[in-house]
Amino acid sequence: MATPGGPRPGNAPPNYNPNALANNMQNLQINQQQSSNVGGTAHRPPNTSPFGQQPPPFTGSRPGPIPPGVFARGPMPPSNPAQTTLPPNMVPTRPTGPPPGSRPPPFASRPPPPGALPSPITGTAAPPNSGAGPRPGPFSFSPLTSGPSAPPQMSSHGQVSNGPPAFGPGMAQSGPRFPPAMGGMPRPSGGPPQSPPVLSSGPSSQPLQVRPSFGSPPAGVSSSIGQLAPPFSTPSQAPPFSAPSPAPPFSASPQNMPPPPGSSPFSPPVPGVLHSSGSPFGMQTWPPQQQQQQQVAPPPLIPGAMQKQQMFGMPPGQPPLPNQSMSLGQTGQSKIDPNQIPRLSTSSSVILHETRHDNQANPPPPATSEYIVKDTGNCSPRYIRCTINQIPCTVDLLSTSAMQLALLVQPLALPHPSEEPIQVVDFGESGPVRCSRCKGYINPFMKFIDQGRRFICNFCGFTDETPRDYHCNLGPDGRRRDADERPELCRGTVEFIASKEYMVREPMPAVFFFLIDVSMNAIQTGATAAACSAISQVISDLPEGPRTMVGIATFDSTIHFYNLKRALQQPLMLIVPDVQDVYTPLESDVIVQLAECRQHLEILLESIPTMFQNNRIADSAFGAAVKAAFLAMKNTGGKLLVFQSVLPSTGIGSLSAREADGRSNISAGEKEAHKLLQPVDKTLKTMAIEFAEYQVCVDLFITTQTYVDIASLSVVPKTTGGQVYYYYPFSALSDAAKLYNDLRWNVMRPQGFEAVMRVRCSQGIQVQEYSGNFCKRIPTDVDLPAIDCDKTIMVSLKHDDKLQEGSECAFQCALLYTTVYGQRRIRVSTLSLPCTNMLSNLFRSADLDTQFACILKQAANEIPSGPLAQVRDQATNACINILYSYRKFCATVSSSGQLILPEALKLLPLYTLALLKSNGLRTDGRIDDRSFWMNYVSPLPTPLVIPLVYPRMIAIHELDEKELELDDSIIPTSIPLSSEHISDDGIYLLENGQDCLIYVGASVQQNVLQQLFGISSVEEISNQFILEQYDNQLSKKLNAIVNEIRRQRCSYLRLKLCKKGDSSGMMFFSYMVEDKTPSGLSYVEYLIHIHRQIQSKMT
Amino acid sequence: MDFSELEGIEGLRWSWHSWPTSKPEVASLVVPLSIMCTPLTPFTELPILPYEPLNCSQCAAVLNPYSRVDYVSKIWVCSFCYRKNPFPRSYAHINENNIPAELFPTYSTVEYHLGTGTVSGLASGLVRSPSALSGLRSNSSSFSSVSAYSGGGSGLDWAGVGVAVGPAFVFVVDGCSSPEELEALKRELLHTITRLPENALVGLVVFDAMVKVYDLGFTECLKVVVFHGERELSPEQVAWCSSRVGLVSTKVHDNTLAVREGWVRNRVVLAPVPLLLSCQGAFGPPSHEAVSWEGISSTKKGFLLPVSECEFNIMTAIEDIHSSPLVKPGHRPLRSTGVAISVAVGLLEGCLINTGSRVMVFTSGPATTGPGMIVNSDLSYSIRTHRDLHNGYASYYKTSSEFYKQISHRLSDSSIILDLFACSLDQVGAAELKFPVESSGGFMMLGESFESEQFRKCLRHMFDRDDDGNLKMFFDASIEVVTTKDVKICGALGPCVSIQKKNDSVSDKVIGEGGTHVWKLGTLTSKTCIAFFFEIEHEQNAQPSSAFFIQFITKYRCSNMGLRKRVTTAARRWVGKHSPEIASGFDQEAAASVMARLAIHKAQRNLAEDVIRWLDKTLIQFASKFGDYAQEDPSSFRLSTNFPYETAFFRLMLNREGVVNSLIMVQPTLFQYSFDGPPVPVVLDVCSISPDVILLFDSFFYVVIHYGSKIAQWRKLGYDRDPSHESFKKLLEAPELDAEQLVAERVPVPKLVKCDQHSSQARFLLAKLNPSVTQNSTHTEGSEIIFTDDVSLQVFIEHLQALAVQG
């Protein structure tokens, strides 16, 4: 039983020393008190922090570099030039608001929300505020929360938000190539992220945010929200969904809120997760549309609901659940006002989140929002999110809810720059304290008894002796007196220095092996040159030091290695012709310390494109090349970065153009179509497992213009903890920058090697399955040749026993890994959640983003194994079953004509619909696109899941006009994905974390075109687009927006210009998921469909 | 006439000059009917005829002085089959007073000059003819596109410009050699390169645990193709692999080249097709093959390029070779000699250069990995000995030999020569490697160091050029034997390979390489000598004293790629039973050489002891029959029983050289230099050693100068530097001068040993002396004693006489 921590059977990881990691990830600063996370990197000596070094890369032109972990979400967009350019959202700005300490006042001072709010709310709110004073409610607005911890840091750093400094240099240089992008991000420097108005308005909103005091019954109102009674038919009722929002008060977004119709009572702080835009979570701004909003209330205590609802399992008197209902007339959708249906809203405000409060787990803010976490015992939701923030005591309860219980684990997730770094704990030779039975790691939920002499494991319940040198007396509260000084006893996430027993060998060096396709196609499309140039620039971003080793090889129908260690100036190319049974030419000298071969490498990379410029070999021996490179790396393990441009046509693991086959027998093949999404055979899988065994992680950069059978190829990255990057159709002009930035982020982002991960659960729950990009050799552990901050693993759970109501159920993810600097670490994140017997609690504490992410990932896993229709039905059924359960057991009895949605999950139908229309579940997509989609989704972090299916769309042509609003956020309010919001004279930007489409309507004003793209008519738009920055406000703003998005998404985005009437336009409209399409329902239709299904189940 | 004078005219040595007519009688001769033929004997007067020979339409014999000619009707009668052949138009002017050289009775040997390596007008015409290429590719346009691609620096250039392509040399270098050895070797190689004719093609292969083939046409950087040293590659695989890296690409060019040159016309159409098929059949998607052909030729790699084009690159590459042994403690370095040779051969095969090419292997140790390995790299396994071989303890011997035999087939198919230069203090596994070297006619040199003079001289000698600047090398030879009807051909022993071409004159009885009347030789020199064996028809109709004829037609290519055919026609007489002519026509030396070859041939299959026994038995039989003539002394040919590799070397040379040199090997010469007069030959006996003489001993492989103990003492005292002892100085110089002369002429260069009496080096001499004085015999003061169990010649002959009388 290898425990993650324990000595591992096979490959063993080695070990290292402590600080490295910290340096690596900026957030981990050990002991560096003063350096607040913010901008921490900036302070560090350049070398130490990987991220810190950004300068070189950035050279102006390339927007690319993603800033290292600096930002919570994304590294800074490379593009940002100046440091000054901090995105508005950034923390720093924020602080400006209330000075530290001021926090309490805000609450008090703020006037209650405008009358709009039902009195109850205010009432409730108020008390908390005052009373709550002490608590910096987790939900409170940042300013408020900023209180102690956050504020100071921020202030100190001033506007420099993390990362920025790093970019600084780059900025300066900016100019050349991608000038536009970088161009100046007009960053409102210093400006508080939150618009002033917010603050002012804030007061009103705050009450909402404040958690209603538990217990306060009044709140009940909330539930009402949902119920819009009347069917849509009545206009007046239009607002149905929305509860009257207290909107105005809230941040800017709130303002958009429709005035709450009086009719619908608005429930104040609803326990439910949902909250209106105003809510700190900010996730939904229901802009123009009217929606009701609810404030998020702390889950557990829900204020009473206004209406009584019968709730399953709820004791009488329980507060009603928040929900949203709309009446859908059976008669017809025509009466539905699309503007009233639930929609995603975004908020630019930053949320402060304490993971535990009053010794209670705090439900996390939405994954898509910007938040700053204070680890008060539970790990940050960045590391672990659970689909439901209360754990059902019994399996029956869970199955009744139809929801699934799963964790999304992202062990190395990028922290927000303003968060405290993870503390590193060194237990010396003996290693971390662990339960001797289940090997769970010491954590804040282990209970010390017997004067501290013994402790009870919160996982298995076993009682252990406290190691003598770890002994400490208990205080009056039953806690160890030193609990607050010991990170492992007061923090949800800590990192332990691994002792010898966690190493089977010395920690491996950081090996980067680049493998480049130089077959005819790759050369001619410029893919080879782009790859070489990207690598050449990235070399300087690789970690410094003697532990960094590099190797390079090229391949067409043969494999060409290069001896990098030579006295002679001339490189030596070593060709391996046998691609059936490959080998590697030299045992040494193919992989060399970076410091020893930097120059050679540069010369070589420069000459590769010319060396092969006349190459007429069209064949590609991908499998053999990868295998050969693997053989070269076998001794150490490491990262293998492969640049591939064509379908591997020769040698071991060669593939055939199955897509063509698929097309030719469409009639016969429809049933078998999904087979094209499976790997063609086991060859590559077998290879990949071997790679994983030797700690080789393969990342695949596919720069192609043809079908390459990603379904087969992707097995390699997937099994080895790598990922696929897909540039299709590859354009040397417009994709080179993205390639570079992707590569740069790939090597620079916080990451670890030779990792093993295991999740432990309290008794009663156990892990059922792991899913993601890794290799699994034994059931309990996940082997990760490499893991980085962008990789998420889905862990589905199951009951094996009943849990006690009132107890807590804990989950612990332990990741043993080696940092790029050769230290062996164990990162341990622990999440402890309350157990409940009440169904309503489950719905109230459901985490929409996480739930949907699980649905999405499961669908992706299912796609290759069955007919598509089945997968689509499953997705819809999952949605229906949940809603049905809610409707049946939790909602008040009401007209069957009403569709009642739990507040927390009210967007589930929209997302599910979007999922059905996504690349992966569409029938009309190219096979490769679908394969890529599936592969992309597999390790996708929760915050990126929603935008993937429901991209963000904003209007660009109006940027000028919306100047005011811009002040508070670079990115304007997003628009629902419906073509009715697209006007012919507008320009729209749509992004999903991967691609960024800019749609230009047919009758856009010429001067706008000129300003943005330097063209005078739509006809001049070319296929290959590079965003440039021109000297005008509009263009600068567009660039700023793009850069901000890049930063948020940790991705450079593929930019594409679309125009009406051609295929690019069609593609753009295919993202309008709310529209009716030939093969899919419109949003409204879909709601009706769901509603009917529920109804039929009810009867 | 002396037999050796006759040899000077015919280039032949006959064991028997008169042949009995009946089979039993032939059998009773003991020594078989045989001819030692040195095809390229340098003749003082050799007519070179600038036209094609006339062949008999029935037996393919060439017109010769023994043919009857009817000048009136312009008809000639074949002297072998009596077929009447008309003269072609070009002989229209023939008459009694105007006869072509080949009919001159004095010219038993003539040589036809069939073409030159330079492009002729006729050839260039062919290139354009699509028909010549139609078999190759569907249309001629694709051909032109190929040539278009190969624009710069590609192989086509040399073909296209009309420069004749010379012979091809692939140097196969052992990267496991020590740095010093490697330096010396590299120096020699560089020197060799500078001395090659500009049109010679060169290639470079370096091996250690892997085999690296240098791409000499790539200028961006050094580029090598790496083959795994442990994997056996089938010829198809090599072809296939090389096609993907472009090794084969020259194939295309070569075809065109061949077309231009005209004489390989038929090959052009035929050869590539099967090759293509084999590529496709064996591997890979055929569909891609077509594509890659284009691709290959365009990206032309130059693994084999004319020196003129790649001189700089190959020099750089050679200089780049560095010692790279992967040696684990307690292990021999990993050498993939077998694969290296296989790859080098593949390289040449791919290029279809049947025009003469050598694979020259330079190694300094045994193969320890992959096919053809001789010994495990683990030092705890010692290398096999003769005894191991016979007892079957040599675990790798069989598979390796098998591997090398296959190599030799490939060599012979493509007329490639394999040379082995082994400079090592350890054994290198020549026993296994011998086969391909031998059958291809390659050169084998075993030395101790690449720094040695011996090695340098050998190598330089090989690349000697004649007065016209052409290398003194001949390639791609074949020898065809035509005989009178009653004479049957049994086979041949020597550096040749039977191509299994049968006709009426081929006997069922096979001796050596038999079953054919045509043999192939990868190369030959002016000294190469082949022993041919004959027998006579059962039903003998020949009349005693009538004549029979044997014609040798040797086709070969000069290093300038000119093709020649040398025709030697010889006539002898049948004799009746018990004719004294039989005995008088016995050539003792030739017989000894022939017997030596037969003995070696047997020794390859049997234990040395058995062979010696066989020899003894044969000798007894022979002696009892021709008692008077029992002067021959096969016993002095002692099969050495030491290491297989040395033996292989010796056997190989013995099998190749002519009668005189073979005799030296069998029975070395010993000259005595003393103050008493000019050097005199002395008996090869230990008694010849005396303190006051210098002995010059020549055993072909060794030349030993042996200073008697007194002489040595004087020399040490420096008398030779004393003007008053001028004569002593001269005495010292004389054998050295003679020795140098011996050494200079001979290839392989013999090892020159200078030793003093009683020194350890003297063993080279003692080993070869007749042990008339042994530890068992009475000991005379001052003489040498040889410790041996061998019997002395005297004892031997006494025994022989006794047994012969008994017999």
B241/A contact by beta carbon, under 8 A: yes
Sheet with A995-1000, side-by-side order of all strands: A952-955, A987-991, A995-1000, A1054-1059
**Number of Cβ pairs closer than 8 Å across A and B?**
99
How far is the alpha carbon of B229 from chain A, nearest alpha carbon, in Å?
10
Q: Inform me whether the pLDDT recorded for B526 exceeds 50.
A: yes
Alpha carbon A592 to its chain centroid, in Å, reads: 35
Of residues A530 and B357, more confidence is placed in A530
The winner for highest mean pLDDT among A552-566, B353-367, B386-400 is: A552-566
3-state secondary structure of A870: helix
- pLDDT at position B249 over 80: no
Average pLDDT over residues A402-420: 93
- Per-residue pLDDT of B548-596, as tens digits, reads 899 999 988 888 778 889 999 998 888 887 777 887 888 877 887 788 7
Between B148 and A884, the higher pLDDT residue: A884
Q: Is B27 on the interface with A (CB under 8 A)?
A: no
Q: Cβ contact (<8 Å) for B226 and A572?
A: no
Structure tokens at A69: 């972990």
Q: Does B224 touch chain A (CB under 8 A)?
A: yes
Q: Using the beta-carbon criterion (under 8 Å), do B226 and A573 form an inter-chain contact?
A: no
| Nearest to A942, CA basis, from A721, A776, A791, A752 | A791
**What is the mean pLDDT of the segment spanning B186-196?**
91
| Least confident residue range of A819-823, A846-850, B765-769 | B765-769
Contact map slice: A 98-137 vs B, CB within 8 A: none
Q: List for chain A the helix, strand, coil content (%; round to 5).
A: 35, 20, 50
pLDDT at A937: 93
Residues B703-708, mean pLDDT to the nearest whole number: 85
Task: Give the model confidence (pLDDT) of A840-875 as tens digits.
Answer: 999 999 999 999 999 999 999 999 888 888 999 999
Question: Which residue stretches of A425-548 are H helix?
Answer: 487-490, 520-524, 527-538
Contacts of residue B233 in chain A, CB cutoff 8 Å?
578
Asked if B148 is an interface residue toward chain A (Cβ–Cβ < 8 A), one would say no
Average of per-residue pLDDT across A258-274: 37
Q: Does pLDDT of A354 surpass 90?
A: yes
Nearest Cα residue in chain A from B150: A614
Q: Which DSSP category does B706 fall into?
A: E
Q: How confident is the model at residue A672 (pLDDT cuts 50, 70, 90)?
A: low
Q: Do A905 and A911 contact (CB within 8 A), yes or no?
A: no
Separation between Cα atoms, residue A589 and residue A591, nearest integer Å: 5
Task: Flag whether residue B343 sits within 8 Å of chain A, measured between CB atoms.
Answer: no
Partners of A607 on chain B (C-beta within 8 Å) are 220-221
**Residue B521 identity:** L
Q: Report the C-alpha gap between B521 and B474 in whole angstroms.
A: 10
Cβ pair B320:A568 closer than 8 A = yes
- Is pLDDT larger for residue A794 or for residue A1013? A794
State whether A579 and B244 contact (CB < 8 Å).
yes
pLDDT of residue B291: 29
- The answer to whether residue A815 neighbours chain B at the CB level (below 8 Å) is no
CB of A289 within 8 Å of a chain B CB? The answer is no
Query: Quick one: tokens of B670?
Result: 């010993």
CB B700 within 8 A of CB B750: yes
Average pLDDT of span B489-507: 87
Per-residue pLDDT of A214-233, as tens digits, reads: 333 333 333 333 333 333 33
Residue of B nearest to A589 (CA): B324
Instruction: Determine the residue among A555, A574, A614, A617 to mutate to test chain B binding: the one whose Cβ has the most chain B Cβ atoms within 10 Å.
Output: A617
Which residues in chain B are closer than 8 Å to A649, comparing Cβ atoms? Answer: 285, 288
Residue B629 confidence (pLDDT) above 50: no
Nearest by CB to B220, which of A557, A610, A616?
Answer: A610
Residue A109's pLDDT band, with cuts at 50, 70 and 90, is very low
A269 or B756, higher pLDDT: B756
Read off the pLDDT of each residue in A263-274 and give the average, rounded to a whole number. Answer: 36
Residue A402 has pLDDT above 60, yes or no: yes
Residues 6+ apart with CB under 8 A from B385: B643, B644
Three-state DSSP class for residue A833: strand
SS3 content of chain B, % helix, strand, coil (to 5): 40, 20, 40
Closest CA relative to residue A387, chosen from A1049, A942, A772: A942
Q: Which of the 8 DSSP states describes residue B586?
A: B
Q: State the average pLDDT for chain A.
A: 73
- What's the maximum distance between 2 C-alpha atoms anywhere in chain A? 85
3-state secondary structure of B437: helix
* Contact indicator for A1001, A986 with CB cutoff of 8 Å: yes
Q: Does B316 touch chain A (CB under 8 A)?
A: yes
Round to whole Å and give the CA distance between A377 and A357. 9
Which contacts of A435-440 are long-range, i.e. CB under 8 A and separated by 24 or more positions? A435/A459, A435/A460, A435/A462, A435/A464, A436/A462, A436/A464, A437/A462, A437/A464, A438/A462, A438/A760, A439/A1, A439/A3, A439/A5, A439/A6, A439/A760, A440/A760, A440/A812
Determine the average pLDDT of the residues in A61-68.
Answer: 39
Under the banding of pLDDT at 50, 70 and 90, the label for residue B164 is low
Judged against a pLDDT cut of 80, whether residue A131 lies above it is answered with no
How far is A698 from A630, CA to CA, in rounded Å? 9
Using the beta-carbon criterion (under 8 Å), do B244 and A583 form an inter-chain contact?
Answer: no
Token digits for A46? 């350049």
Percentage of the residues of chain B whose pLDDT score is greater than 70: 72
What's CA A826's distance to the chain center, in Å?
Answer: 22
As a whole number, mean pLDDT of residues A146-154 equals 37
- Of the candidates B176, B433, B165, B186, the one whose C-alpha atom is nearest the C-alpha of residue B306 is B165
Picking from A465-479, A773-787, A817-831, B408-422, which range would have the lowest pLDDT averaged per residue?
B408-422
Tens digit of each residue's pLDDT (9 = 90 or more) over B642-684: 344 445 555 555 666 666 666 666 667 788 888 777 787 777 7
Alpha carbon of residue A604 to chain centroid: 37
Per-residue pLDDT of A1020-1056, as tens digits, reads 887 778 888 888 888 888 898 899 899 888 888 888 8
Q: Does the beta-carbon distance from A619 to B220 stay under 8 Å?
A: no
CB atoms within 10 A of CB A1055: 22
| Residue of chain A whose Cα is closest to the Cα of B207 | A585
- State the pLDDT at residue A394: 94
Q: Which residue in A680, A682, A681 sits closest to A657, CA to CA?
A: A680
Q: What is the predicted pLDDT for the residue at B666?
A: 63
Testing the interface with A: which of B221, B241, B247 to mutate, by most A Cβ within 10 A? B221
Contacts of A570 in chain B (CB under 8 A): 221-222, 316
SS3 letters across B5-71? HHHHHHCEEECECEEECCHHHHHHCCCCEEEEECCCCCCCCCCEECCCCCECCCCCCECCCCCEEEC
* Cβ–Cβ contact A474 with B under 8 A: no
Q: Report how far residue B548's alpha carbon sits from residue A532's, in angstroms, rounded to the nearest whole number.
A: 78
**B292 near A CB under 8 A:** yes
pLDDT tens per residue, range B43-90: 878 888 888 888 888 888 898 888 888 888 888 998 888 889 998 888
| Distance in angstroms (rounded) separating the CA atoms of residues A986 and A1002 | 8
| Strand, helix or coil for residue A315 | coil
Average confidence (pLDDT) over A156-175: 36
For B334-345, the pLDDT digits (tens) are 888 988 998 888
A701 or A215, which is more confident: A701
Residues B93-101 have a mean pLDDT of 83
Express each pLDDT in A917-965 by its tens digit: 998 888 777 888 889 999 999 999 999 999 999 999 999 887 776 554 4
Could you tell me how far CA B804 lies from the centroid of its own chain?
38
Do residues A129 and A108 touch, judged by C-beta distance below 8 A?
A: yes
Cα gap B78→B495, rounded to integer Å? 30
Q: Which pair of structure tokens corresponds to residue A132?
A: 């709550």
Angle at A965 (CA atoms; ends A964, A970), nearest 5 degrees = 115
Q: Compare all CA atoms of chain A with the CA of B224 and give the residue at the minimum distance.
A: A574
Least confident range of A718-732, A956-970, B206-220, B634-648? B634-648
Burial class (CB in 10 A: 0-12, 13-18, 19+), B84: middle
pTM: 0.72
- Partners of residue B535 on adjacent β-strands: B488
Q: Which of A178-182, A297-301, B530-534 has the highest mean pLDDT?
A: B530-534
pLDDT confidence of residue A817? 95
pLDDT in tens, A227-254: 333 333 333 333 334 333 333 333 333 3
b/e map of A240-266 (b: 16 or more CB within 10 Å)? Answer: bbbbbbbbbbbbbbbbbbbebbeebbb
- pLDDT value at position A825? 94
Preceding omega of A729 cis (within 30 degrees of 0):
yes
Q: Report yes or no: A569 at the B interface, CB cutoff 8 Å.
A: no
d(CA A431, CA A426): 7
B266 burial level (CB within 10 Å; 0-12, 13-18, 19+): exposed
The pLDDT of B97-122, averaged and rounded, is 71
Asked if A611 is an interface residue toward chain B (Cβ–Cβ < 8 A), one would say yes
Q: How far is the C-alpha of B802 from the C-alpha of B807, rounded, in Å?
A: 9
Calculate how close chain B gets to A654, using CA atoms only, in Å: 10
Q: CB contact, 8 Å: A585 with chain B?
A: yes
Residue among A572, A573, A619 whose CB faces B292 most closely: A619
